Amino acid sequence: MKADKNAIILAHYYQTGDIQDIADFTGDSLALSQKAASNDAEIILFAGVKFMAETAKILAPVKKYFCLIWMQ
């Protein structure tokens, strides 16, 4: 489904191992926001904090962002 939708999953390293296992990239907030902006995926799913998706949206506003918020 990720390939069909041209999507990637980004997980903050504070996420549990099972979430990190399915992520395409794992890292800190800044690295994940930069990764969201520097790839060709059209849909970005963040498993982390809300501001990461907000920061990435500023860096690459034409992409679609979804965020699984586990803390504000």
Tell me whether residue 1 is exposed, middle or buried, using C-beta atoms within 10 angstroms of its C-beta: 0 to 12, 13 to 18, 19 or more.
exposed
pLDDT-above-70 percentage for the chain? 94
pLDDT for 23-46, tens place per residue? 999 999 888 888 988 989 999 888
The pTM of this model reads 0.81
pLDDT-above-90 percentage for the chain? 28
Confidence (pLDDT) at 70:
54
53 vs 6, more confident: 6
Average pLDDT of the segment spanning 47-72: 74
